[in-house]
Amino acid sequence: MKLSVFGDTIVGKQRDHNEDSFIILNDLNKQWQEVNDQTISISGSRGLIVAVADGMGGTNAGEVASSIALSTVKERIKEIPFNIKNPDQVQRIFSSIIQSINTNIIREAKKNKETTGMGTTIILGWIFKNTLFITWIGDSRCYHYNNKTYDQLVPLSDDHSLVWSRVKSGEITPEEARLSSESNLLLQSLGDTFQDPIPDFKWIKLGKKDRILLCSDGLNSMLSAVGIQQILDFSDSTKETCLSLINAANNAGGHDNITAVLIDVIETDTDSKTSFRSNIFDKKWFRVLITLILLVLFVTGAFLANKRFNIISSLNNTFRSIVNKDSKKSAADIATDLTTTQTDTTGVHDHDLTDTNVIHGPKEETENRILATEKYVSMLDTAQSKKALKIALDRIEMIELKIEPVQPGKSEYQPEFYNRHSKRLESILHSLDSLKNQIKKYAEIKDYEIVSIRVKNIEENKMVSLIRTIDNLNTRTENILSAPQIP
């Protein structure tokens, strides 16, 4: 497999130093070596590793965090074996690397008070045997594009941010998210002492003339998807295209540091023995097994179709009973009820939730059940919507009341405690305000009471997404408030 690679980073127009970092590593003679602005062959090797990290935390600290992230990647990838056989094995390696980065950043922050509170995002990619694997924390992105295949450019990764969670739930468009004043509110980052990272993972097969772009949000926050796509279409030169993307983002305002790494696929491995999937899919026994499975699915299809209506009806009744039980029930309890009362829906149509080209990493069983519930439960009626939204408002008010005693001038906490955690607390309060604005689109609110419902029917998947976010913010708040005060 032959690739052309180029990466660069600049400070932008409004920052005084660069907290972004990137690294491109090629396996040459069984050793990982840094490369840039080169055309390389990765056939018969462990491939190509690429990572982009966007640090945060103030003067010097963000730069330290992103540097730790990439030095950890460089050290840990030495452990990658040559005989990788399946994506699960890759995901385990990636997850271990992410956890090591998080640990190393927290350890350094404890040793050096000047870097307290530092953190970073990361997007980590590996190209091996015609396959791209990615994992990420935060909002640094990966795009996969081929102008012969895709009409519209969309990110391969999903940002761990408040606005992108609203994009996924269908509330706003990607462009509205890009322009939102809340676009910098992250749900995950590395170095956060109050929340362990939960990295996402995907893999996809690569073809000739595919282009892979990894970037910090300093690029995609300045350029729309259409703008990025037009530049990718303009030139075949890897270096020229990458520099054009960076310059365009800088000319559009350069509000942040800007980093981009572009990889062009010049040739793929044509020998089926080198293909990552061919070891299984070219086996005769495997094709026979697939045929038998399809036959069984065909025979059972009618039976499942007859039961589907009953399943949907039962799930609707389940949600109705949940929201009517107790208006003071927590968001976490509702999510748990939704995932445990109809367990026989899990797996009935799991294939509907799987993209055959992009394989997500395994999720927790509870999350899978929530996804199944979201897919097959339809709408809440007006009474159900009012109950569910009231629960969400009560939950938000409870979190705000928890944070109130921490504010400056209150007696329960020392001023030093607020100063130490102010950024995280302000981020949580900002997120709560955003959620209240979201609820106001569904209902008229007065003093945390639902006066009337604006939207007659609300999709239940949006309600589940809402209570998940509230539950996450509550957990973050409790973690902060349980931290010891400074003597």
Number of domains forming the structure of the chain: 2
Residue 444 sits in the same domain as residue 314:
yes
Please identify, among 230, 262, 281, the residue that sits at the C-terminal boundary of a domain.
Answer: 281
Q: What is the 3-state secondary structure (H, E, C) of the chain?
A: CEEEEEEEEECCCCCCCCCEEEEEEEEECCEEEECCCEEEECCCCCCEEEEEEEEECCCCHHHHHHHHHHHHHHHHHHHCCCCCCCHHHHHHHHHHHHHHHHHHHHHHHHHCHHHCCCEEEEEEEEEECCEEEEEEECCCEEEEECCCCCCCCCECCCCCEHHHHHHHCCCCCHHHHHHCCCCCCECCCECCCCCCCCCEEEEEECCCCCEEEEECHHHHCCCCHHHHHHHHHHCCCHHHHHHHHHHHHHHCCCCCCEEEEEEEEEECCCCHHHCCCHHHHCCHHHHHHHHHHHHHHHHHHHHHHHHHHHHHHHHHHHHHHHHHHCCCCCHHHHHHHHHHCCHHHCCCCHHHHCCCCCEECCCCHHHHHHHHHHHHCCEECHHHHHHHHHHHHHHHHHHHHHHHHHCCCCCCCCHHHHHHHHHHHHHHHHHHHHHHHHHHHHEEEECCEEEEECCCCEEHHHHHHHHHHHHHHHHHHHHHHCCCCCC
Residue 345 sits in the same domain as residue 221:
no
Residue 396 sits in the same domain as residue 476:
yes
Please identify, among 281, 300, 324, the residue that sits at the C-terminal boundary of a domain.
Answer: 281
Report yes or no: 377 and 371 within 8 Å, Cβ to Cβ: no
Q: What is the CA radius of gyration of the chain?
A: 24
Successive 10-residue mean pLDDT values, the chain, 487 residues: 96 93 92 94 93 83 94 91 85 94 93 88 95 96 92 92 92 92 91 90 94 97 95 94 96 95 92 47 62 75 55 49 46 45 33 34 42 48 81 86 74 67 80 84 82 78 79 82 62
Report yes or no: 186 and 117 within 8 Å, Cβ to Cβ: no
Residue 65 sits in the same domain as residue 151:
yes
Q: Give 307: exposed, middle or buried? Use CB within 10 Å, 0-12, 13-18, 19+.
A: middle
pLDDT of 379: 72
Residue 9 half-sphere exposure toward CB, CA atoms < 13 A: 25
Residue 287 sits in the same domain as residue 267:
no
Burial 423-447 (b: 16+ CB within 10 A, else e): ebbebbbebbebbbebbeebbebee
- Extract the tokens encoding 19: 């907290």
Domain limits at 71?
2-281
Residue 11 sits in the same domain as residue 133:
yes
Residue 232 sits in the same domain as residue 367:
no
Burial 122-141 (b: 16+ CB within 10 A, else e): bbbbbbbbbbbbbbbbbbbb
CA angle 7, 11, 13 (to 5 degrees): 125
Measured between alpha carbons, how far is residue 391 from residues 75, 140, 319, 327, 474 in Å? 48, 34, 13, 6, 14
pLDDT of 377: 42
CATH number for the domain harbouring residue 63: 3.60.40.10
Rounded Cα–Cα distance for residues 475 and 424 (Å): 12
Report yes or no: 315 and 343 within 8 Å, Cβ to Cβ: no
Residue 376 sits in the same domain as residue 463:
yes
Residue 323 sits in the same domain as residue 415:
yes
Answer yes or no: pTM beyond 0.75: no
Give residue 126's Cα distance to chain centre.
17
Residue 115 sits in the same domain as residue 131:
yes
Please identify, among 219, 249, 281, the residue that sits at the C-terminal boundary of a domain.
Answer: 281
Residue 277 sits in the same domain as residue 318:
no
Measured between alpha carbons, how far is residue 190 from residues 69, 79, 109, 451, 474 in Å? 9, 21, 12, 41, 19
Residue 100 sits in the same domain as residue 26:
yes
Rounded Cα–Cα distance for residues 106 and 195 (Å): 12
Question: Considering Cα of 319, then 325, then 331, then 336, what sign does the dihedral take?
Answer: negative
pLDDT of 54: 96
